[in-house]
Amino acid sequence: MRSTGLAAWITAALRLGGKMLIAIMAACAAPALAEPDPETAVVERPDIAPANAMIVVTAPPTDGRVLPPGVALSPEALVDRQPRSVAGALRGLPGVSVRPNSRGESVPRVRGSEERQIAVFLDGTPLVVPWDGRIDLALIPAGLVHRLEVRKGAVPIEYGTNAVAGAVDLQTRLGGDGEALSLFGTAQAGTFGIADVSGALGMRIGGADVTLAASHLSQDAARVADPDSLPFSQNRSRRRTNTQSDTTSLFGAIGRVIGPLTLRAGLLDFHARRGIAPESDRDPAVFAPRYWRYPAIDFTQAMMSAEAGLAPATTLRVVGWRQWFDQRIEAYRNVDFAALRSAELNEDDTLGGRLTFSHPAGPFRLRWSATAQTTTHVQVDTAFPPGTPGPRLRYRQTLLSLGGEADLRLGHATMLTAGIGYDRSTNPLTGDKPTQPAADAIAFSANLRHQFDDQWALTLSAGRRTRFPSARELFGEALGRFLPNFDLRPETAWLADAELTFRKRGVTATLNPFLVRNVDGIGQRVVRVGNLSLRQRYNIAGATVLGMDGLLLVSAGDWTVELTGTVLSARADPGSAAFRRLVQRPRYEATAAVDWAPAQAVDVRVELRRTGGAVDLAPDGSQARLPPSTEVNLRASVPAARFANGRRLSLTAAVDNLTDARILPQLGLPLPGRTIRLGIRIR
């Protein structure tokens, strides 16, 4: 494991500084830059973002390219919502939810998908930890992100393998962002020791754009909304058992344009430690909950990429990444967290790259993309007593994706984009587990868009995507919680969308019915082994998800009203699961928000979120009910000072779950109760 604490912070700073110096001297590397896509920026106020704003995306929109349904948040919208992390920034978007899983990780879900079916990207590079197939978005500070976008359905080929239900695209700040110097900073303190400090500095140095950012997020405990709902492993205190957390992150990037070549390099480094709340709905004498902590989580990702204009309308984009991820998990015998039962040490090393070539060919515009990634995972398990480390087990997974897309105009108002791809997964190293056969699959998609007039447009999308089981799903035992299933097969999704969009000055509305047919989806069941109840992943023969996303955005003067929501039916085929209704999929989620911003100075935002009922898997394998919930959130900022350079200092306030409502996304692990944060912001 890499060192943690102050030494880790200093080490990360030196590493960042060294790599930034090398990047400056070499003047190299930058992800491709593209204009914002007006067809997807449906949750942003169009008067905020400058017309020439440049963003970094994985699959950039181009003239004539039709993309599946998407939703984006502008920089101003991100600021208004005052999220602590990326996890908070995603909440409330139509068709998107963020929920903590049983490991305490905040993971995205799109239209009721499983958490590993969503790919997450930062400046065009995958941000997920490949061994696990997911990333904890609560560890990514919101201050790092300048803009975010979510693609839903059959996403473009650049996203590669495993993006079955959609993708989250995060873009960092870009140098001076059109200025010689740009500055953004926030500091907040709040309930039970919340302390958030975040800052980002962008500047022009010679011909290069340089971005530096740092953040620290911490809290002593999450607040309990309803103590009566947690009868076990929780005292009567409002401080939730074992929910302390501490994350420090650093980011740096440098980019430069040299003739037809656009270059950028970046480095993200964060160190964290946190506890995981025990499942407090279960009696330890009957169904033992887990008592876990992460004393060390270390993540470093280096990113570099380039775009070259080779000829008119012909471009070559190259992206590369290297990721190092280490963590230690400790399991304790009881809620006192005094006696260790076992420990797990993980070390991951990932190397990957993507090449995309785009060019015209007669009436078509063609894109060819190839993505390759390999990850080596080393794991050491230790039982206490005696505390002697076990063998160093090595696992490896390699992913490959090849594909092509074609854009074609079918008339003045109709465009078509169609693509086909090939995905492959191999596991050449399997530790002490059985060898695995290679798996491959064909992917394809088609998107048709017709613009009826200046206000109405219809987009039809359909496709097929495959997700390969992550190495952890195949081989991981989670410190004795899971019974491995070495016969897991890839899961396949058939997707169809119809998005109707209306845009008129001050009004944006969308309706997006969708259908997802899952084959061999990976679910969980409870298996009795002796006197133990273990979880095991298995393939569900089939499941159907049917629903609709909707959005209405109305702006009039100083007022903006947002209505977003999703209705959902997610059911397994008869006989393919213990019960047909898929777990942790609410029947509906809806958000209503009112934003008042006179003269773009004072800003007040009120949010009301309603989540419908769902079901979950009880410890004994039966079906349990999750009740509906209502959440009220408040946001406010008031100018306090204006500086000669035009920057403004504001006082900020944020209240989450104002009414202390009990919100239960899964059994025994409710969301925090009322949380208050007060602070300042400079921008």
Convert the pLDDT of each residue in 140-166 to its tens digit.
999 889 889 999 999 999 999 999 999
Kindly state the tokens that stand for 403: 């594909």
pLDDT > 90: percent of the chain: 74
Number of neighbours of residue 195 by Cβ within 10 angstroms = 16
pLDDT exceeds cutoff 80 at 252: yes
User: Is 301 in contact with 125 (CB distance < 8 Å)?
Assistant: yes
Instruction: Write out the H or E segment, with its range, that includes residue 54.
Output: none
pLDDT exceeds cutoff 50 at 328: yes
Kindly state the tokens that stand for 301: 């990702």
Residue-wise pLDDT tens digits, 97-129 = 998 887 888 999 999 888 899 999 999 999 999
Lowest average pLDDT, out of 7-16, 358-367, 555-564, 618-627, goes to: 7-16
The band of 20, judged by pLDDT with boundaries at 50, 70 and 90, is: very low
Dist. CA 10–CA 12, nearest whole Å: 5
pLDDT exceeds cutoff 50 at 231: yes
Lowest average pLDDT, out of 17-21, 158-162, 253-257, goes to: 17-21
pLDDT exceeds cutoff 70 at 35: no
Instruction: Write out the H or E segment, with its range, that includes residue 7.
Output: helix 5-26
pLDDT exceeds cutoff 60 at 16: no
The band of 251, judged by pLDDT with boundaries at 50, 70 and 90, is: very high
Residue-wise pLDDT tens digits, 55-94 = 356 888 888 999 999 999 988 889 999 999 999 999 989 9
Number of neighbours of residue 387 by Cβ within 10 angstroms = 10
Mean pLDDT to the nearest integer, 219-231: 94
Dist. CA 607–CA 311, nearest whole Å: 49
User: Is 99 in contact with 108 (CB distance < 8 Å)?
Assistant: no
DSSP state letters, 176-215: TTTSSEEEEEEEEEEGGGEEEEEEEEEEEETTEEEEEEEE
The band of 528, judged by pLDDT with boundaries at 50, 70 and 90, is: confident
pLDDT exceeds cutoff 80 at 428: yes
Dist. CA 394–CA 26, nearest whole Å: 35
| Burial letters 137-158, b for 16+ CB under 10 A, else e | bbbbbbbbbbbbbbbbbbbbbb
Mean pLDDT to the nearest integer, 321-344: 95
Mean pLDDT to the nearest integer, 231-245: 94
Q: What is the pLDDT of residue 58?
A: 87
Q: What is the pLDDT of residue 41?
A: 37
Q: What is the pLDDT of residue 38?
A: 35
Q: What is the pLDDT of residue 643?
A: 86
Which CATH number is 5-682's, of 3.90.380.10, 3.40.50.720, 2.40.170.20, 3.30.70.20?
2.40.170.20
The single-letter DSSP state of residue 229 is: G
**Taken in order 550, 553, 554, 559, is the CA torsion positive or negative?**
positive
Cα Rg of the chain (Å, integer): 24
**Which is higher by pLDDT, 260 or 180?**
260
Kindly state the tokens that stand for 473: 């799903």
pLDDT exceeds cutoff 70 at 7: no
Q: Which residues contact 609 (CB under 8 A, 6 or more apart)?
A: 91, 92, 589, 590, 591, 630, 631, 632, 633
pLDDT exceeds cutoff 90 at 25: no
User: Is 245 in contact with 274 (CB distance < 8 Å)?
Assistant: yes
pLDDT exceeds cutoff 60 at 40: no
Number of neighbours of residue 161 by Cβ within 10 angstroms = 25
pLDDT > 70: percent of the chain: 91
Dist. CA 406–CA 421, nearest whole Å: 12
Is the whole model's pTM more than 0.85, yes or no? yes
User: Is 389 in contact with 378 (CB distance < 8 Å)?
Assistant: no
21 burial class (0-12, 13-18, 19+ CB within 10 angstroms)?
A: exposed
Q: What is the pLDDT of residue 177?
A: 59
Residues, the chain: 683
Q: What is the pLDDT of residue 57?
A: 67
Q: Which residues contact 644 (CB under 8 A, 6 or more apart)?
A: none
Q: What is the pLDDT of residue 176?
A: 58
pLDDT exceeds cutoff 90 at 170: yes
* Amino acid of residue 480: G
pLDDT exceeds cutoff 80 at 17: no
Q: Which of 230, 222, 201 is nearest to 138 (CA)?
A: 222
Q: Which of 569, 425, 550 is nearest to 488 (CA)?
A: 425
Residue-wise pLDDT tens digits, 69-79 = 999 998 888 99
Q: Which of 213, 85, 66 is nearest to 148 (CA)?
A: 85
pLDDT exceeds cutoff 60 at 36: no
Q: Where are the domains of the chain?
A: 5-682
Dist. CA 274–CA 244, nearest whole Å: 6
DSSP state letters, 475-533: H--TTTTB---TT---EEEEEEEEEEEEEETTEEEEEEEEEEEEEEEEEEEEEEETTEE
Angle at 312 between CA 308 and CA 316, to 5 degrees: 25
Instruction: Write out the H or E segment, with its range, that includes residue 459.
Output: strand 456-467
Dist. CA 526–CA 622, nearest whole Å: 9
pLDDT exceeds cutoff 80 at 600: no
**Furthest-apart CA pair in the chain: how many Å?**
74
Number of neighbours of residue 270 by Cβ within 10 angstroms = 23
Could you tell me the CA-to-CA distances from 352 to 320, 396, 418, 485 in Å, in that order?
6, 13, 26, 28
Q: What is the pLDDT of residue 653?
A: 98
Residue-wise pLDDT tens digits, 333-349 = 999 999 999 999 999 99
Mean pLDDT to the nearest integer, 4-32: 37
The band of 529, judged by pLDDT with boundaries at 50, 70 and 90, is: confident
The band of 178, judged by pLDDT with boundaries at 50, 70 and 90, is: low
Residue pointed to by tokens 């219809």: 458
pLDDT exceeds cutoff 90 at 43: no
Residue-wise pLDDT tens digits, 441-457 = 999 999 999 999 999 99
Residue-wise pLDDT tens digits, 362-380 = 999 999 999 999 999 999 9
Considering the chain, what is the average pLDDT of its residues?
A: 88
